[in-house]
């Protein structure tokens, strides 16, 4: 099999060839490894190779019930551990620390037949909407190598978009599946809270806001992966039973006629590019042509307050993570990137009552979204306020980083975080990704669907947010849209 043949198939298609004996898993792995070698200098998508381990996996016996038998696969370098293999979380501090246990999702992928040959690039501690780690270097977007892949699952997005693998591991704590999917022309579903395990090393991520999932080129690959991943674990904090009908079977039937409210205005009041507006408007027209009821409407949520509530929890989590990593490894604060030090300093200085109030507000935002879903099945919006940004555009200016370090040393980080200038910087950092955090705080499922490319041939996905237990309806709608506006064969020229 040649590479140009390999990329004509999604993961399920490749697995079918393996099970029928038309291609060997080792042959697929050779293609994936060669493609990784060929593009590494341009993409920097894969930051840890596991070639020898993968070759042993590829030589196994494939069972008929393995949906992804022999399919080359990549896990994200965050929350998707392999026992005995370092998972760096995008930081040099953990680059050589072996994981004590294998993550549930990784085990399930391997049980389903996936052949894992590497780990993908992510920002330090997965804490940004772009993948530009100082330790690992930036991941580059295959559609335009000068632009970001988004984050934090940016390495996985680059790998899938460039054809290294048909599907790859990802996770999402504030948009980290949907953002890179939107920037790289992929399908990305963020499952609802508790749907997929974060264990065994964690009960949940970011108080339930962070979830594991995948990035793919086909809806059916994601549907099949959801069937693989959503097995309840005895130590999970929530019980989420399997759906009555498996998702892969469910998407064979179009969804019922849906009521969909759409909006394009930024929840934090920042500018929105004409491309993002046009992407949503075109999606609304396609939906209407399919028989769905579509009208302008948005959840009645205070976007700036939501951004503050999200950031407060994120900063406090950063402080806890940094302190725990230092305790376990003997690392110093200076070993982390300036932005991580700044976030941790703000989190460490946050009053416990402020944290509790911000987390109580999560429920307030959830109630507002629930009120919206009482009238509409889904909210349609942009994922991003514009196409993928140039690499480095969201980097913190050196003088600001220096100022935050000084404030941290002087014990003034808490005071700085309450200034108008700091809040303005927070809003500015979220101005590219203001639409995604609501689904994380509320624990609702959401997806990015690649329906739009601008005149410069850059992709820009649109977001759908469903209500509680809405993964099945999202996948049904995505499959219907995929049939109406196919995207699988749209690939970058790299």
Q: Where are the beta strands (DSSP E) in 52-104?
A: 72-76
CA 361 to chain centre: 24
- Bridge partners (DSSP) of residue 382 are 462
Question: Cis link prior to 299 (omega < 30° from 0)?
Answer: no
Q: Are 160 and 217 in contact (CB under 8 A)?
A: yes
- Bridge partners (DSSP) of residue 120 are 46, 76
SS (H, E, C) 177-220: CHHHHHHHCCEEEECCCCCCCCCCCCCCEHHHCEEEEEEECCHH
Q: Cα(29)–Cα(428) distance, rounded to whole angstroms?
A: 42
Alpha-carbon Rg for the chain in angstroms: 21
From residue 216, how far is each of 167, 220, 295 by CA, in Å?
A: 4, 9, 29
Tell me which residue of 377, 366, 404, 243 sits closest to 297, measured CA to CA. Answer: 377
Q: Are 155 and 76 in contact (CB under 8 A)?
A: yes
Q: Cα(189)–Cα(448) distance, rounded to whole angstroms?
A: 7
Q: Are 377 and 445 in contact (CB under 8 A)?
A: no
| Residues belonging to the active site | 76, 152, 176
């Amino acid at each position: 099999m040649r590479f140009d043949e390999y990329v004509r198939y999604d993961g399920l298609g490749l697995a079918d060839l393996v099970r029928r004996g038309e291609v060997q898993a080792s042959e697929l792995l050779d293609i994936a490894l060669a493609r990784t070698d060929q593009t590494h200098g341009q993409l920097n998508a894969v930051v840890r190779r596991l070639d020898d381990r993968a070759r042993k996996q590829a030589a196994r016996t494939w069972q008929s019930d393995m949906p992804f038998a022999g399919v080359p696969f990549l896990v994200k370098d965050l929350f998707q551990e392999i026992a005995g293999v370092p998972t760096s979380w995008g930081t040099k501090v953990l680059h050589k620390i072996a994981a004590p246990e294998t993550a549930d999702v990784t085990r399930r992928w391997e049980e389903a037949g996936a052949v894992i040959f590497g780990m993908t690039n992510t920002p330090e501690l997965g804490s940004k909407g772009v993948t530009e780690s100082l330790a690992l270097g930036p991941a580059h977007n295959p559609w335009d190598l000068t632009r970001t892949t988004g984050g934090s699952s940016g390495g996985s997005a680059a790998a899938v978009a460039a054809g290294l693998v048909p599907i790859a591991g990802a996770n999402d704590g504030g948009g980290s599946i949907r953002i890179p999917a939107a920037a790289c022309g992929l399908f990305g579903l963020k499952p609802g809270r508790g749907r997929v395990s974060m264990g065994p090393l964690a009960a949940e991520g970011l108080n339930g806001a962070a979830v594991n999932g995948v990035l793919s080129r086909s809806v059916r690959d994601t549907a099949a992966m959801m069937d693989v991943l959503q097995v309840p674990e005895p130590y999970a904090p929530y019980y989420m039973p399997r759906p009555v009908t498996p998702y892969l079977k469910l998407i064979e039937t179009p969804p019922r006629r849906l009521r969909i409210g759409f909006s394009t205005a930024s929840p934090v009041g920042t500018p929105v590019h004409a491309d993002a507006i046009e992407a949503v408007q075109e999606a609304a027209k396609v939906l209407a042509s399919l028989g769905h009821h579509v009208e302008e409407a948005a959840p009645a949520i205070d976007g700036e307050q939501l951004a503050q509530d999200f950031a407060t929890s994120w900063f406090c989590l950063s402080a806890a993570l940094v302190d725990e990593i230092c305790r376990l490894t003997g690392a110093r604060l200076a070993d982390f990137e300036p932005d991580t030090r700044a976030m941790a300093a703000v989190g460490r200085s946050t009053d416990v009552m402020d944290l509790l109030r911000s987390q109580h507000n999560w429920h307030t935002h959830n109630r507002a979204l629930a009120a919206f879903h009482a009238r509409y099945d889904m909210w349609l919006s942009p994922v991003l306020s514009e196409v993928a940004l140039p690499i480095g555009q969201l980097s913190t200016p050196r003088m600001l980083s220096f100022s935050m370090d000084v404030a941290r040393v002087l014990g003034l980080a808490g005071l700085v975080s309450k200034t108008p200038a700091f809040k303005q910087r927070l809003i500015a950092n979220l101005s590219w990704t203001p639409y995604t955090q609501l689904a994380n705080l509320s624990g609702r499922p959401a997806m990015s669907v690649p329906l739009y490319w601008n005149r410069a041939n850059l992709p820009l996905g649109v977001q759908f947010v469903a209500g509680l237990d809405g993964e099945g309806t999202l996948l049904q709608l995505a499959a219907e849209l995929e049939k109406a506006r196919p995207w699988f064969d749209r690939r970058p020229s790299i």
